[in-house]
Amino acid sequence: MGKHPRETIGLVVVDAWRCIEVKEGYIEGAKGRLWYSVYGEDRKGTPLLVVHGGPGFLSMPQVLSDLADERPVYFYDQLGCGKSDKAKDMDDYSVEYYTKELDDVIEGLELSEVILFGHSWGAGLVCSHMLENKPEGVKALILSSPYLSTPIWEEDMKKLVSKLPEPMVEIIRKAESDHEYGEDYFGVMMEFYKRHMYTHTPFPGYLMEAIGAINQELYGVMWGPSDLELTGKLRSFDLSPRLGEITVPVLLICGDRDEMDVRTLRDFQMAMSKGQMAVIPDAGHMNHLEKPDIFKAVVRDFLD
């Protein structure tokens, strides 16, 4: 056992027909205990480790856990998220910490070989891990709706905001100018989410519960009070000039109505020597939840 031991706290059968089991427990991280779960730990394929988005969100097993019929699928909640401990000091929330934390999670789970899956901010975290830690055991990456550059992300978001009705655009402008994000602003953001985050209404209950569980303090430190304009620690985050340093096979995925521009995904793919890309039709930022069958077929093809 390494310096980040893990403790199993439960074992249940989640699908008797496929005989897939799920375990959950905790890893001792540098700043607190980190919750994890694993589906199909006994499967023979190269393990898949899922890195959730946010920052401040939490693990969602829906759809991705289905891949445990072929390989172990691991999830973990980042520090301050979901079932993991909160940081004792808000300054502990940083790109540098989370990059090191991912290394600790891989070590704690004893994953000598692994495929990393990152969604949104999680994709940025995965790429930061590859560039800074240079791990040898990571065999491939899957980057879903990847946030890899603040300036590029903001540019894409501005294009989408400009297509909203003018009264909505004005509400956003006023909120960001006054730094006051009230009921009208959040009403506009819900309309934005229906167009570009989860485009198939109504939102499923599990997604609404996850959104309600976001650690807003963490989100504010890392991102800022506005979803559209970054003012937190991620303000200077930009991996785009270094993507060519990632040499493992990479699958990049987005929805055709995503918060990121499809042309941005193409630019990211072209920057990588072994990049592939797929665009999920009639879907947004949560394309894996909106079009699960297409999404799983694309991912399985890449993994094969």
Quick check: 286 pLDDT over 60? yes
Is the residue at 42 inside a domain? Answer: yes
- Of the residues 119, 196, 285, 288, only one is catalytic, namely 285
Is the residue at 173 inside a domain? Answer: no
CA 58, CA 81: separation in Å to the nearest integer? Answer: 6
What mean pLDDT comes out for the span 241-267?
97
How big is the CA angle at 183 (ends 180 and 188), to the nearest 5 degrees? Answer: 95
Predicted local distance difference test score (pLDDT) of residue 79: 98
**CB-based contact 163:252 (threshold 8 Å):** no
Is the residue at 225 inside a domain? Answer: no
What mean pLDDT comes out for the span 116-126?
98
Share of the chain above pLDDT 70, in %: 94
Specify the DSSP element, H or E, that contains 12. strand 6-15
Is 238 a catalytic site residue?
Answer: no
Is the residue at 94 inside a domain? Answer: yes
What mean pLDDT comes out for the span 200-222?
94
Predicted local distance difference test score (pLDDT) of residue 261: 96
- Of the residues 84, 120, 128, 145, only one is catalytic, namely 120
Predicted local distance difference test score (pLDDT) of residue 21: 87
User: What are the pLDDT digits (tens) for 126-136?
Assistant: 999 999 999 99
Token pair listed for 18: 């496929």
Quick check: 199 pLDDT over 70? yes
Predicted local distance difference test score (pLDDT) of residue 20: 82
User: What are the pLDDT digits (tens) for 44-97?
Assistant: 999 999 999 999 999 999 999 999 999 999 999 999 999 999 999 999 999 999
Is the residue at 216 inside a domain? Answer: no
Is the residue at 158 inside a domain? Answer: no
Give the pLDDT band of residue 5 (cuts 50, 70, 90).
low
User: What are the pLDDT digits (tens) for 137-171?
Assistant: 999 999 999 999 999 999 999 999 999 999 999 99
Domain that holds residue 126: 6-151+238-303
**CB-based contact 28:108 (threshold 8 Å):** yes
Is 65 a catalytic site residue?
Answer: no
CA 110, CA 104: separation in Å to the nearest integer? Answer: 10
Number of domains in the chain: 1
What mean pLDDT comes out for the span 208-212?
93
Q: CATH no. for residue 116?
A: 3.40.50.1820
Is the residue at 63 inside a domain? Answer: yes
Quick check: 15 pLDDT over 60? no
Predicted local distance difference test score (pLDDT) of residue 1: 42
Is 258 a catalytic site residue?
Answer: yes
Does the pTM surpass 0.85? The reply is yes
Averaged confidence pLDDT in the chain:
93
Place of tokens 């445990």: 68
Give the pLDDT band of residue 228 (cuts 50, 70, 90).
confident
Predicted local distance difference test score (pLDDT) of residue 43: 93
- Of the residues 92, 156, 227, 258, only one is catalytic, namely 258
**Closest by Cα among 52, 62, 68, 225 to 123:** 52
Predicted local distance difference test score (pLDDT) of residue 213: 95
Collapsing DSSP to helix, strand or coil, 96 comes out as: helix
Asked which of 7-11, 102-106, 216-220, 256-260 is least confident by mean pLDDT, the reply is 7-11
Asked which of 1-10, 107-116, 254-263 is least confident by mean pLDDT, the reply is 1-10
Is the residue at 72 inside a domain? Answer: yes
